[in-house]
Amino acid sequence: MTTVAPLPPSDAYRAPVAREATVTDPALVKRAVKAAALGNAMEWFDFGVYSYIAVTLGKVFFPSGSPTAQLLSTFGAFAAAFLVRPLGGMVFGPLGDRLGRQKVLALTMIMMAAGTFAIGLIPSYATIGVGAPALLLAARLVQGFSTGGEYAGASTFIAEYAPDRKRGFLGSWLEFGTLAGYVGGAGLVTLMTALLPAADLVAWGWRIPFLIAGPMGIIGLYLRLRLEETPAFAAEVEKSGADRPRVPLRETVAGQWRALLLCVGLVLVFNVTDYMLLSYMPSYLTSELKYDETHGLLVVLGVMVLMMIVQPFAGALTDRVGRRPVIAAGCAGFLFLSVPALLLIRQGGLLAIALGMGALGLLLVCFTAAMPATLPALFPTRVRYGSLSIGFNVSVSLFGGTTPLVVTALIGATGNMMMPAYYMMAAAVIGGAAVWRMTESAGRPLPGSAPSVERPPHPTA
């Protein structure tokens, strides 16, 4: 549990002068990080599975005929989830500020797991006709709606539990879960594709990855239900004098317009580069550069493993030098190195592609390591979950999720194969402007919260 204690007399925490501080229990903080990261891992497990098995899903859920039409229909159902993410953020975010972070995160976990598990149970088009794609779309909408409250809630949960001096390191494990989920989902599909005959994969094998979401969801729900509410929210409830604090939507949005603009800018550069590297690049290698599909997917998986290794160290670095320098370094890197990296990738050799993709992956770590601690610190406790959910999901839906589509259209319209680099450079400029205007939050209490310190070890005899 967490307790309240006098703040140490030194200025070691770089916090404003305060009479009391929240003393966190390291064991409880670790449980909170695991519970939050698992939900993110499950979201991206589904993302990896769906992306890598899309061709098979097209054969299962849509009429036979044009393979291209089947694939487009599959990705159309996938993209539909992005349309409802802002709606989910507008519902779950304010609920998290009213009912509590832990309760809402338990609800989003149930819905995400149910949506993914349901896909594995849907009969094929050959069995029930148009009902199959309709049910697939419905399951995807449930997933997208619940995801709208997941990232903001999970990052808020970790940030409000973490001691001020370790918020960057602990928050970085949230994106570690993202990468682990994607690698696990994509890796499982790759293994199944290699081991199962194509006919078995279409007949029943494709269901296995989706059905795994059931046990994963139960484990995640168990972990989340075992947790206490965050100290920051508990203090807000006590201060309000009500069991359920009421926060008007206008306070969540209009009252936080400057922070929301900063959030949209930071999330834009974070997600444009993320979706460009992890989602679009495999297609770019195959469709535009005519590179072998299997090798291209394996390179992307290798880049994600590299990012997982570096992620915690980069998170700890943000605690030492600050969030702003690390995010600014990522923006500067994408601004000046996107073109050289893409030129390397376009050479087509395995080594050149690996070097170019690896460089972009390491630059992306500047965002994945810093954002889980940076974004919650933009907003005060009273509106943190709601404002962050709205700002994050609006930016992801408008700019992140549309990145593959927009870049493909730009290449088609201009014939310029360097468009991915130019698009990342434009995002880096916007992200750099947001970094310029944001306030450093490393080592400082979250707005509206007391300083948070880690419980010292028991003195030895």
Cα–Cα distances in Å, from 103 out to 106, 221, 229?
5, 10, 8
pLDDT in tens, 355-388: 999 999 999 999 999 999 999 999 999 999 999 9
Reported as a pLDDT band with limits 50, 70 and 90, residue 15 is very low
Q: Which two tokens stand for residue 25?
A: 């229990």
What share of the chain has pLDDT > 90, as a percent?
Answer: 39
Q: Residue 332: is its pLDDT beyond 80?
A: yes
pLDDT at 121: 93
Query: Span 420-433, mean pLDDT?
Result: 96
Does residue 300 form part of some domain? yes
When divided into structural domains, the chain yields a total of: 1
Strand pairing partners for 428?
none
Residue with the larger pLDDT of the pair 181 and 295: 181
Per-residue pLDDT for 5 more than 70? no
- Considering only residues 293 and 270, tell me which one the structure prediction assigns the higher pLDDT: 270
Instruction: Supply the mean pLDDT for the chain.
Output: 85
Confirm whether 14 is domain-assigned.
no
Q: Is the pLDDT of residue 335 over 80?
A: yes
> Integer distance in angstroms from the first to the last C-alpha of the chain?
24
d(CA 111, CA 67): 31
Is 5 a domain residue? no
Residue 397 lies in a domain: yes
Q: What is the pLDDT of residue 125?
A: 86
Asked if the model's pLDDT at residue 450 lies above 60, the reply is: yes
Domain that holds residue 31: 19-448
Mean pLDDT for the stretch of residues 429-434: 96
C-alpha neighbours within 13 Å on the C-beta side of residue 42: 34
Alpha-carbon distances of 251 from 284, 380, 395, rounded to whole Å: 43, 11, 19
What are phi and psi for residue 4, nearest 5 degrees? -110, 130
Highest mean pLDDT among 127-136, 158-167, 286-295, 401-410 belongs to 158-167
The set of residues, in sequence order, having a beta carbon less than 8 Å from that of 155 and lying 6+ positions away, is 36, 171, 174, 371, 372, 373, 375, 376, 388
What are 7's two structure tokens? 């703040």
Residue 3 lies in a domain: no
Asked whether residue 383 is assigned to any structural domain, the reply reads yes
In whole angstroms, what is the distance from residue 461 CA to residue 441 CA?
Answer: 37
Task: Give the chain as a 3 state SS string.
Answer: CCEEEECCCCCCCCCCCCCEEEEECHHHHHHHHHHHHHHHHHHHHHHHHHHHCHHHHHHHHCCCCCHHHHHHHHHHHHHHHHHHHHHHHHHHHHHHHHCCHHHHHHHHHHHHHHHHHHHCCCCCHHHHCCHHHHHHHHHHHHHHHHHCCHHHHHHHHHHHHCCHHHHHHHHHHHHHHHHHHHHHHHHHHHHHHHHCCHHHHHHHHCHHHHHCHHHHHHHHHHHHHCCCCCHHHHHHHHHHCCCCCCCCHHHHCHHHHHHHHHHHHHHHHHHHHHHHHHHHHHHHHHHHCCCCHHHHHHHHHHHHHHHHHHHHHHHHHHHHHCHHHHHHHHHHHHHHHHHHHHHHHHCCCHHHHHHHHHHHHHHHHHHHHHHHHHCHHHCCHHHHHHHHHHHHHHHHHHHHCCHHHHHHHHHHHHCCCCHHHHHHHHHHHHHHHHHHHCCCCCCCCCCCCCCEEECCCCCCC
Give residue 314's pLDDT band: very low, low, confident or very high (50, 70, 90).
very high
Given a cut of 50, is residue 13 above it in pLDDT? no
Predicted confidence at residue 330, as pLDDT, reads 97
Inside any domain, residue 143: yes
pLDDT level of residue 456 (50, 70, 90 thresholds) = low
Question: Residue 354 is part of a domain; what is its CATH number?
Answer: 1.20.1250.20
pLDDT at site 321: 96
Q: How confident is the model at residue 14 (pLDDT cuts 50, 70, 90)?
A: very low
pLDDT surpasses 60 at 9: no
Q: Higher-confidence residue: 133 or 43?
A: 133
Q: How many Cβ atoms from other residues are within 10 Å of residue 49's Cβ? A: 29
Domain for residue 99, yes or no? yes
Which pLDDT belongs to residue 441? 93
